[in-house]
Structures are given as structure tokens and as C-alpha cells.
Structure 1
Amino acid sequence: MLLRALDRFFGHEASGGILLMLSAVLAMIVANSGLAGAYDGVLGSYFAVTINGEGLEKPLILWINDGLMAIFFFLIGLELKAELLEGKLKNPSDVVLPGVAAIGGMAFPALIYLAFNWGNPATVGGWAIPAATDIAFALGVLALVGDRVPSSLKVFLLTLAILDDMGAIVIIALFYTAELKVDYLFLSLIPLAGMWFLHHKKVHRMAPILMLGVILWVLVLKSGVHATLAGVVTAFFIPLKDKYGKSPLHSLEHGLSPYVLYVIVPIFAFANAGVVLKGMTFGDLMAPLPMGIALGLILGKQLGVFGITFAMVKLGLARMPSGANWAQIYGIACLAGIGFTMSLFIGSLSFTDQALMNEVRLGVLSGSILSGIMGYIALRLSTRDAPKAEAKAENAVA
């Protein structure tokens, strides 16, 4: 009975988003309980991998954010490559509407954040925090609505979120890179050359490419460029087809996806979502940093995604997703405001001060939760007569 229930849960599209939410709630409970000291102590514990004193020594929280999240970005890279070569991003005409909407959905939240934090040099660097969309969480909420929404809306949201991730990767590379160490960047060309050669030969076994990817990760980490980008780069050297006609890319994507969705992302959420509520007042939520993030996710995404989509369609530059209405587009725009994983991740790159990070968590969680609730309500209300309409159509055909 229990095994069947677990199988049904993990087989549901919303399971990843639900597990993510539970991990965040658990982190908040632990961070505000008697276990808070142990929670902080474990995350601050140093782990080292060294040879003759040379190597990596980092607290556990950075092994999670720099190491495990590199695997998360590796999966994103695999998905991006698959979509570019044979999926939703292959046909440029299908990308225009969600692509421009994604740009608007990143620009407007950043502008709203800057409007609140422009005069504060300590917080202005977090402008990209509300620009991100959490694919798993957003699709999980959409899945809760069920089959009431047309499939074109799911494709629209998925394409929007994928392009949003591409934008986040570019932002991290350009604006969240520490002081560069050029010698390590030059050394990183060696594993890159090896991966290019193996990709060119359409190798069947992926272990050599993955081992070179680990070496690339270490060198990129040492160079000052954020190490998670090594995951994306490695993914693009995984062959779509090997010399036997099989797809190593799809095999890795399907094999890795459950571990990322149900293990890595929940661990990241648990390690990064622990908002300390002790001594916090309503006025703290109104501070420029959390308010800029929350309103960026709530209003910025709605203005950017819905506003740009409305303008594009009305100007005749693009067509509405098939079978969708404007209320449903608004609901999708709200769901795009669920930043969570990527927003928390960019927040960890923006600030090292724990007090500021606590404000980041407060803004991300409040903005994401409200966006999710608004999106769910909008989609439910806009599709409440959908089953009846479908039944009437079927009877008419019969």
C-alpha cells in the first residue's frame, strides 16, 4: 500500500514542486527551533579534498551550492541542448513569443528591484534575484490544475522557463564572476579540448566526458568563474547521437532527472531556505531588499510576461498559444513569478552577509508563494467550465 502510494506520488507532475515546498518548510521549522545551532553548524562544517595541502576546502553549504548545483545546471544544459537540436527551441518561430516574454519577465523584475535598492550599494548587486523562474515549482503548480488547461500553455510556460534559465546562466557568467585567475582558465582549455574530441568522435561511453567535466569544474572554480557553469558547458559536449545511433544525451537526462528533482534540489532548498523569523516584524518585510525581491517576482513577472505577450499578440507580431485565453496567460505570468531555487541561488552569489541572506530568503519565499497562489487561482477560475465544455463538444461530435 505504501509503495503504491509513493509510486503514485512520484509519478505525478506536481511531486517535484511539492517536495521542494516541503523541504523549504522543514528548513524554516529547523531554523526557528532548538535545532537552529546544529543546522548552522552542519552547514558551516568544513570539508576538504587536498593533495599535499593543495585542493579544495569549503563549508558544506558551498559544496551544496557550488557542487551539487553544478549537477543541477548540468541537467539544465542537457535539456537546453535537446530542446535546441530537436525540441521546442528548434523552430525560431515557436520561440518568438515565449522568448520575448522571457526577456520582459527578467527585465521588469530587475527594474522593480533596482527601484527599491538603487541608493544602497550593499544591496543593489542583488538585482538579478527576482529575474529567475523555478521550472519544477511552476510546472508543479500548473499540474495541480490538471487537464483543464490546454497543452499549449504548458509548452508556453516550459519554453519561457527554459529561456529564463538560459538568461540566468548568462547573467551568472557576466555579473557574478569573482576576480579572474587567468592561469586556471587557460588550464580549463585542456579538459574542454578533450571533451570536444570525444564529442566529435561520437563516443558511446560517457564516463571519460564526465571525468573531464569534473576536472573542468575544479579548474573553473579555482579561476573565479562560478563553477556551476562548468555543468552547463559539460552538458553541451554530451553527444545527442553516438556512433551506434543511440542517444547518450537522452539517457543521461532521463537517468539524472529523478536524482536532481527529488534529491539535489530538495537538499539545496533545505540548506538555503531557512528564514530566521525570531525578532522579525512586519516592517522587516517592507525593507527595500525583501520588498524589491517580492514585488519583482509578483508584479515584475506579471508586467513582463503578461504585458509583453499582450502587446506582441495585439500588434500582430505573434499568435496566442492555441486554445488559451487571456485569463490563462495571466495565470501563467503569475506562475513565472515563482523564483525559488534559481532566485535563492543567485541570492547566495549576491550576498555573503547572513542578515542580508535572511532578507533574501524572506523576499524569495513570500514572492514565490504569493505568485504560486495567484497563478493557481487564476488558472482554476479561468478553466472551471473546461470539463463541461469538452463534454458538450464530444456529445456534439457524437
Structure 2
Amino acid sequence: MKKKASRFIANFFNLEASGGILLMLTAIVAVICANSGVAHLYEKLLHLHPLAWIPGVNELGINLSLHHLINEGLMAIFFFLVGLELKREVMEGELSDRRNIMLPIIGALGGMLLPALIYVSLNHGDPLAIHGWAIPAATDIAFALGVLTLLGSRVPYSIKIFLTSLAIFDDLGAVLIIALFYTKDIAVLPLAAAAGCTAILACLNHIGATKKLPYLVVGFFLWLATLNSGVDAVVAGVVLAMFIPLYSHEKPDISPLKKLEHDLHPTVSYIILPLFAFANSGLHLQGIGAEQILHPVPLGIALGLFFGKQAGVFGLCFLAIKLKIAQLPTGINWKIFYGVSILCGIGFTMSLFIGGLAFHENGTQRVFDERLGIILGSLVSGLVGYTILRLTTHPQTDQE
């Protein structure tokens, strides 16, 4: 019995879809906790300060609650991994070819602009609600790829590459949005310290340093400075990734970047993202009815994710291909491409993250819960996208 259980667990974690499945399960557990007899324990857990007993944390400004430690600390590691993936893909992967890079960039732009416009059109008269304009602009790579993986051999590999590339550019766009629009009051001294750390990272890269430890130590102080600067701390993760060397000059067969990427993937997929989902998905269902669902904030998010994403991604990509700016990925047709465009409406992780920055950081009392729109929009996008791809693809058949 123990061997069967061990084999099942091993097989589960070998599945490409396992990260997305685990993310979904932890989100469900969070909703159950928030609406059961343990709701007070769930809230109390998230407001614990686990670093409080460590000397000096108050002076360093890192005496964070568990909720903020996950969002500001662990999620910086997630963005670090996103930065590593982007750098590798641009330098030697699928995105090193201009013909492959244009379509996901254009798709990401359309998939950010149109959902934001839909949201703004419904919330432009509310000075509080308008802060959430970027929430439906996000795409969740773990969930979206998880849905594709459930289709098995029906989906050409080229479409997985496209979706991954688009999600990476989408995440990069989210980082820029966070840095530019969700920055609090700037503290000059910590920001100067962050700039100094960035200069040190640039020097390490310039002299060809390949040991990971110096980069990670400087990266920690960069994160610490960014945390106290008013700029969201997750930005430090992407900045650090840009300076990690792809290869060693002395030993070309050694790649510090690829080693870090390989080592971080399981931690991010099976620990960090599920913890984030658990800490941020505790939606209170009591009293939710048509009035709450049709509030302009959750409605704008849901419509932005489902209609805005598919229209923005598919529409702009269609135009770019017809104008010969980009080309349709090999082995797929427009029906499959449309199904994948709908999957881009699964915003979950990044939408929750931006929602937290927009509404939860200031402690303002609200009559809406943006998570309702995020969950509904992501769920409908996932189900409809999966159904369309299921109907328009065939196992082991070459697509036109």
C-alpha cells in the first residue's frame, strides 16, 4: 500500500499539469477555510509575524505578517524564476528568433490593453475601484499550461511555446505595471541602496563571476532595499535575474542560470505558488448573490479576463499575421489559436497579486471583493478554452 501511494505521488509530480492542479486544490482549501469553523484560525495564521523572534528584523523592516511575507518575499522568488526563463528564452531559446518573438509580444500587449479598457469602462467613475484596472490584464502560466497538458497529444508543441512566451511577456508587463502604477511613497535612501546593489550585480556580471552565492547575497540586499523603498519588492527578483550569467566563460558547459532555473522550478511550482494561492484565495461566500457578482469591480474583472483577453490576444495577433508582421505558429490553425487565446483569460495568480496591491494594502473598507471576479473569469476561461480545444483538435493528427 505504501509503495502504491509513493508511486502515485511520484507520478503526480512528474505530470506537467501537477503545478496547476496543486494550485487549484490549495485555492479550494483556502475558500473552505474562509467559510468554515476554522475561519478565525485561517485569518489568525495569515496575520502571524513568523520573523518577529529574530533579532534585528524590526530595524531591517522585514517584520512582516505571514501573508505579506508570502506576497512580498516568496513571490519575489517566483518573479526571479520568471526573469531567468525570459533571459534564457531571449538569449538562446524560442524568443531568440525575431520571427518567434513578435507574435507573443503582440498577443501580450493586446491581452493587457483590452481587458484593462473593459474594466475602466465599467469603473471610471469610482476613485477606489479604478485602482484595480490592471487586475484582468494578467495571465496565469501554471493554470493555462495545466489545461493544455490535460489535452495531451491533441495540442501541438508549438502552441505550448507560444502560450509560455506570451505568459512570460505578460508577467514582465505586470512587473512594469507594478513598478510604475502600484508604487507607494518613494523612500530615497532605500531606493539609492537598491540602485547600488544593481550596480554591484552589473559589476559581478561584467567581470564574469559565475558563483551563484555572491549574486544571491547581493540579491537579498536588493530585495531588502526595494522592500523599504516603496517600490514593490517583487521587482527585485526580475532585476536580479537579468544579471545571472547564462554560461561560464571558463567552463562553457556550465550554466549558472539554467542550474538556478532547474533548482527553483519545483520549489516555485509545489511550494511558493500553492502557498500564495492559500494565502490569497480565501473568498468569503456568505451573502454573495447577483448584487455582489454584478458589482462593477468583479464584473469588470470577469468580463476583462474572459472577453477582453480572447479579443485582445486573438484580434491583435490576427491583425499582425495578416499584415505579415508575425506568423502563425507551425502546426496550428485559427480555431486552435482562438481556443488558446481564451485560455489566456486564466488570470488567477497574477490577478490575485495585483488585486492585493490595488485594494488590500491600504486597508480601505470595500463593498466588493475582486477575488470573486478573478475566480469566475479564470474558471469560465479555463472551461471554455478547454472545450473549444477539445472539439477542434485530434490526437496524433497534424494540424494545418
SS for the counterpart of 1:316 is: coil
Q: Does residue 137 of the first structure (1) align with residue 125 of the second (2)?
A: no
User: Structure 1 pair 52/32, CA: closer, same or farther in 2 (3 Å)?
Assistant: closer
1:111 aligns with 2:117: yes
Distance across 1 between alignment mates of 2:282 and 2:357: 17
Query: How far has the Cα of 1:307 moved from its partner?
Result: 1.2
Unpaired runs of 5+ in structure 1? Answer: 391-398
Structure 1 residues 119 and 162, CA gap change in structure 2 (3 angstroms): same
Task: Give the aligned residue type for 2:96.
Answer: K
Structure 1: how far apart are the matches of 2:66 and 2:239?
24
State the identity as a percent: 51
**1:359 maps to which of 369, 376, 390:** 369
2:134 matches 1:128 = yes
Which letter does structure 2 place at the counterpart of 1:271?
A
Aligned position for 2:163? 157
Select 1:249's aligned residue among 226, 237, 257. Answer: 257
Pick from 12, 16, 24: which aligns with 1:9? 12
Tell me the equivalent position of 1:396: none
Q: Match of 1:395?
A: none
What amino acid is the match of 2:18? Answer: S
Aligned to 2:33: 30
In the other structure, the counterpart of 2:43 is 40
Contact 1:275/1:358 (8 A) holds in 2: no
SS at 2:64 equivalent: strand
Distance 1:52 1:78 in 2: 29
Q: Which one-letter code corresponds to 1:156 in the other structure?
A: F
- On the 8 A contact 1:18/1:140 being kept in 2, the answer is yes
* Distance in 2 (alpha carbons) for counterparts of 1:53 and 1:278: 37
Shift of 1:360: 1.3
Question: Which of residues 362, 368, 389 in structure 2 aligns to 1:379?
Answer: 389
Q: 1:356 to 1:20 in 2, by over 3 A?
A: farther
What is the distance in 1 between the residues matched to 2:205 and 2:133? 37
Partner of 1:226: 232
Tell me the TM-score normalized by structure 1: 0.94
Q: Structure 1 residues 265, 358: CA separation in 2 closer, same or farther (over 3 Å shift)? A: farther
Two-structure CA RMSD over aligned residues (Å): 1.8
Residues in 2 aligned to 1:358 and 1:45: alpha-carbon distance in whole angstroms? 25
Question: Could you say if the C-alpha distance between residues 355 and 329 of structure 1 is closer, same or farther in structure 2, counting changes exceeding 3 Å?
Answer: farther
What one-letter code is carried by the residue in structure 2 that aligns with 1:251?
Answer: K
> Could you tell me how far apart the structure 2 residues matched to 1:89 and 1:322 are?
15
8 Å Cα contact 2:295-2:368 kept in structure 1:
no
CA contact (8 A) 1:27 1:271 kept: yes
Partner of 1:288: 296
For the residues of structure 2 that align with 1:67 and 1:262, how far apart are their CA atoms? Answer: 16
After TM superposition, give the deviation of residue 42 of structure 1 in Å. Answer: 1.1
Shift of 1:45: 1.8
Unaligned runs of 5+ in 2: none
Alpha-carbon separation, structure 2, partners of 1:236 and 1:357: 41
Native 8 Å contact 1:335 1:372 kept in 2: yes
Deviation at 1:386, TM superposition (A): 4.2
Map 1:63-212 to 2 at 5 A. Answer: 63-212=69-218
243-252 or 369-378, larger mean C-alpha shift: 243-252
Q: What corresponds to 2:342 in structure 1?
A: 334
Q: Deviations over 1:235-293 (max 9, x none)?
A: 11111112322100000000011000000000000000110001211221110000000
Structure 2: how far apart are the matches of 1:257 and 1:343?
21
Taking the aligned partners of 1:322 and 1:88, their CA distance within structure 2 comes to 13
Distance 1:140 1:358, change over 3 A: farther
In the TM superposition, what is the alpha-carbon distance from 1:196 to its structure 2 partner? 1.9
- Structure 1 letter corresponding to 2:22: L
Q: Which amino acid aligns with 1:150?
A: P
Cα distance change of structure 1 residues 238 and 357 upon mapping to structure 2, 3 Å threshold: farther
| Offset from partner CA, 1:306-356 (integer Å, 9 cap, x none) | 111222223333322112111111110111000000000001110124764
Q: How big is each residue's C-alpha offset from its partner over 1:351-389, in whole Å with a ceiling of 9 and x where there is no partner?
A: 124764961111111110110001100100001x444x4
| Shift in CA distance, 92/316, structure 1 to aligned 2, threshold 3 Å | closer
- In 1, the alpha carbon distance for the partners of 2:334 and 2:312 equals 15
Paired amino acid for 1:276: H
The alpha carbon displacement at 1:210 in A equals: 0.3
Using the size of structure 2 for normalisation, the TM-score is: 0.94
Q: 1:346 aligns with which of 338, 350, 354?
A: 354
Please name the residue that 1:393 is paired with.
none
Partner of 1:394: none
Contact in 1 for aligned 2:23/2:274 (Cα 8 Å): yes
Q: Contact 1:328–1:382 at 8 Å: present in 2 too? A: yes
SS across alignment from 2:151 = helix
Question: What is the one-letter code of the residue matched to 2:160?
Answer: K
Q: Deviations over 1:180-231 (max 9, x none)?
A: 1111111223322322222223223211110111111111111111111111
Could you say if the C-alpha distance between residues 202 and 61 of structure 1 is closer, same or farther in structure 2, counting changes exceeding 3 Å?
same
Identify the match of residue 18 of structure 1 among 17, 21, 28: 21
Q: Which amino acid aligns with 1:328?
A: I
Do 1:109 and 1:295's aligned partners in 2 also have CA atoms closer than 8 Å?
yes
Q: Is the 8 A contact 1:70 1:228 kept in 2?
A: yes
Q: Secondary structure at the match of 1:97?
A: helix
The code of the aligned residue for 2:246 comes to L
